């Protein structure tokens, strides 16, 4: 009996063991190692040519100070802030609008519409950036040809004035479908009795959407906002892919591009690790702060 009871008690841990091992090996360990590297530096003795002339020593917070005072860091943060101010409201606004329209039953091709809207999310960011990059190039862009054919003066999408919007457009195009599916799923979970009662009271579809649907799916809106915020702070693939097509995108256009430059171009993994930790902490603080401000109010509606 005791042996059988011990095996029963140990079964949950046996099932959890593979997930815990993968979590420790591929998430926890890299985070700990990154923090460790951010606190180290290379000390060079003499000309640094002989054996033992380079050694790794304790650096304290000097890498963080060097990263934060880097003249390329502040512009990249400001740029990512402007990028987020464009992407997050537009993407979530479109996702909410499409989810409400699909839920209202105004289209007879609901399955096709959901698939078509979601499909861009299935396209890898690098592939999507390449596709849009060719659409932005004046010599091969059908958009430019159509505007010129209509007598309009097409802008330089990859120029200084438009490049931020060009990168943001790729993110909106790719992320709207995912957020729409999340919000549409939440809408489908609302009991239809609420809508029928509202219609009997004379409420229109717009009033039902504004006063019933949106308040009920507020937790899903909060969740999609947090995911979008984290994705904004970690944007990398789109500008990195477009960079060979335009000289307006620098190697430090976003904070993660700066990390890439420091680690693989300058071979300074210690500064790159410090910047990575700063980005991770900023993501946690902003996400936790937003959840603290609006999360309790939104999720309390589920009680």
| Gap between the Cα atoms of 279 and 284, Å rounded | 9
Residue 147 has a CB neighbour count (10 Å cut-off) of 14
| Gap between the Cα atoms of 113 and 142, Å rounded | 25
Torsion of CA 78, 79, 84, 86, to 10 degrees: 120
Query: What is 214-229 written as a DSSP string?
Result: HHHTHHHHHHHHHHHH
Q: Does residue 38 carry a pLDDT above 70? A: yes
Set out the domains of the chain in order of their start, with CATH numbers: 70-302 (1.10.3720.10)
Choice between 4 and 140, residue whose per-residue pLDDT is larger: 140
Packing angle, helices 163-188 and 110-122, rounded to 10: 140
Q: Does residue 126 carry a pLDDT above 90? A: yes
Q: Does residue 262 carry a pLDDT above 80? A: yes
| Gap between the Cα atoms of 22 and 101, Å rounded | 41
| Gap between the Cα atoms of 286 and 230, Å rounded | 9
Tell me the mean pLDDT in the region 249-257: 94
Burial 20-57 (b: 16+ CB within 10 A, else e): eeeeeeeeeeeeeebeebbbbbeeeeeeeeeeeeeeee
Instruction: Please give the pLDDT value at position 105.
Output: 67
| pTM: predicted TM-score of the whole model, two decimal places | 0.88
Q: Does residue 21 carry a pLDDT above 70? A: yes
pLDDT over 90, % of the chain: 56
Residue 131 φ then ψ, to 5° = -60, -50
| Gap between the Cα atoms of 296 and 71, Å rounded | 38
Instruction: Please give the pLDDT value at position 295.
Output: 61
How is residue 243 annotated by DSSP? Answer: G
| Gap between the Cα atoms of 145 and 141, Å rounded | 6
Q: Does residue 300 carry a pLDDT above 80? A: no
Q: What is the pLDDT of residues 180-232, one digit of tens each?
A: 999 999 999 888 888 888 888 888 888 988 888 999 999 899 999 999 999 99
Q: What is the pLDDT of residues 72-106, one digit of tens each?
A: 999 999 999 999 999 999 999 999 999 998 888 65
């Amino acid at each position: 009996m005791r042996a059988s009871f011990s095996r029963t008690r140990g079964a949950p841990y046996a099932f959890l063991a593979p997930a815990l091992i993968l979590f420790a090996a591929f998430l926890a360990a890299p985070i700990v190692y990154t923090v460790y590297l951010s606190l180290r530096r290379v000390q060079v003795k003499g000309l640094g040519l002989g054996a033992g002339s380079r050694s790794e020593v304790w650096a304290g917070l000097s890498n963080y100070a060097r990263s934060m005072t880097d003249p390329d860091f502040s512009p990249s943060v400001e740029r990512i802030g402007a990028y987020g101010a464009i992407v997050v409201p537009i993407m979530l606004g479109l996702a909410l609008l499409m989810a409400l329209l699909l839920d209202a039953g105004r289209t007879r091709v609901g399955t096709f519409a959901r698939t078509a809207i979601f499909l861009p999310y299935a396209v890898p960011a690098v592939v999507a950036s390449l596709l849009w990059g060719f659409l932005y190039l004046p010599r091969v862009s059908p958009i430019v040809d159509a505007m010129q054919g209509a007598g309009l003066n097409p802008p330089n999408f990859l120029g200084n004035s438009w490049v931020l919007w060009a990168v943001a457009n790729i993110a909106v195009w790719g992320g709207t479908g995912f957020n729409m599916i999340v919000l549409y799923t939440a809408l489908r979970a609302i009991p239809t009795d609420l809508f029928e009662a509202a219609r009997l009271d004379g409420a229109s579809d717009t009033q039902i959407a504004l006063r019933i649907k949106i308040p009920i799916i507020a937790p899903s809106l909060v969740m999609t906002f947090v995911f979008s915020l984290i994705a904004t702070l970690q944007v990398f693939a789109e500008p990195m892919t477009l960079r060979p097509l335009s000289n307006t995108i620098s190697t430090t256009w976003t904070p993660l591009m700066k990390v890439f430059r420091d680690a693989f171009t300058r071979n300074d993994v210690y500064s790159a690790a410090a910047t990575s930790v700063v980005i991770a902490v900023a993501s946690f603080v902003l996400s936790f702060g937003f959840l603290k401000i609006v999360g309790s109010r939104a999720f309390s509606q589920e009680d």
